[in-house]
Amino acid sequence: MDNQIKRKSLEINDCWNHIGVWGKETPRCEKLDNVIHCRNCEIFSQSGQQILEQPLSEEYLSDWATIYSNEKKQRRAGSKSSLVFRLGDEWYSFPNDAIVEVTEIKAIHSIPHSKSQALRGLVNIRGELKICFSIGHLLGIHKGKKLIEQTSKYKSYERMVVISHEDQQFVFPVSEVLGSTRYNDDDITAPPATIANAKATFTTGMLKVKNNNVACLDLGLIFNSIKRSLK
């Protein structure tokens, strides 16, 4: 919106960009000793005042007239929220109300003679032993080539997520937690019909979060298959 409004050039000595806090030139402004930051300085606020006291151009008036003659775009609040996490190269989400906590990776104590591959073992979460399972195994996905970790500018940290459903709690490790996201029901699109593997049955829909396609997982189905794998 801002670039549509062409401001008339106004001569302002932007000392704050040279000898002030946003500049690196020496000698430094003497006033800084007193005011500490440029925004406390009267020259800075006077310049701001000067910009607001500027006469308007015809372009400014007509640009804003166009903007306000259009219908207001309603920003939707987003009535639901989900925790978005990554397994290998793919993004998934669980509804926020199922999430108990996200912690750092803890040692998994394996259970001897356990036949289930999804069951990883027991984890100590705040002094309570909780069952840890591999959600990737349930979904039939592997750690992948970790393309995201190689290309990302940021270092990602593995985490453990504690979820609860119908008074039962389970823990599962994830490659990365992106955070919580808000969405509306109509933001969710149906999962692609071509998905033939196990993933589709656990997915209730797809969500777009920061250019990532996030699969929303069905909590009830996941819990059922965990319970089945424990038997």
Q: Is residue 61 at the binding interface for other proteins, with CB under 8 A as the rule?
A: yes
Q: Is residue 64 at the binding interface for other proteins, with CB under 8 A as the rule?
A: yes
Q: Is residue 198 at the binding interface for other proteins, with CB under 8 A as the rule?
A: no
Q: Is residue 196 at the binding interface for other proteins, with CB under 8 A as the rule?
A: no
Report the C-alpha gap between 172 and 229 in whole angstroms: 14
Report the C-alpha gap between 175 and 134 in whole angstroms: 11
Q: Is residue 65 at the binding interface for other proteins, with CB under 8 A as the rule?
A: yes
Report the C-alpha gap between 188 and 216 in whole angstroms: 9
Q: Candidates 24-32, 53-61, 74-82, 118-126 — which segment interacts with other proteins by CB under 8 A? A: 53-61
Name which of 14 and 97 has its Cβ closer to other proteins.
14
CB-based burial of residue 106 (10 Å sphere; 0-12 exposed, 13-18 middle, 19+ buried)? Answer: middle
In contact, 212 and 91? CB cutoff 8 Å: yes
CB-based burial of residue 10 (10 Å sphere; 0-12 exposed, 13-18 middle, 19+ buried)? Answer: exposed
Q: Candidates 11-19, 59-67, 111-119, 173-181 — which segment interacts with other proteins by CB under 8 A? A: 59-67
Strand 159-165 and strand 99-104: the pairing is: antiparallel
Number of residues located near other proteins, criterion CB under 8 A: 16
Smallest distance, other proteins to C-beta of residue 6, A: 12
Smallest distance, other proteins to C-beta of residue 52, A: 4
Q: Is residue 12 at the binding interface for other proteins, with CB under 8 A as the rule?
A: no
DSSP code at position 59: H
Return all residues near 158 (Cβ < 8 A) that are at least 6 apart.
105, 173, 174, 175, 176
Q: Is residue 1 at the binding interface for other proteins, with CB under 8 A as the rule?
A: no
Question: Which residue among 54, 117, 180, 184 contacts other proteins (CB under 8 A)?
Answer: 54
Enumerate residues 72-91 that contact other proteins by CB under 8 A.
72
Question: Which residue among 13, 26, 34, 70 contacts other proteins (CB under 8 A)?
Answer: 70
> Which among 203, 207, 182 has a CA at the least distance from the CA of 80?
182
In contact, 151 and 135? CB cutoff 8 Å: no
Enumerate residues 32-51 that contact other proteins by CB under 8 A.
51
Report the C-alpha gap between 42 and 51 in whole angstroms: 14
Q: Is residue 68 at the binding interface for other proteins, with CB under 8 A as the rule?
A: yes
Name which of 5 and 148 has its Cβ closer to other proteins.
5
Judged by the rule CB under 8 A, the positions of this chain that interact with other proteins are: 51-56, 60-62, 64-65, 68-72
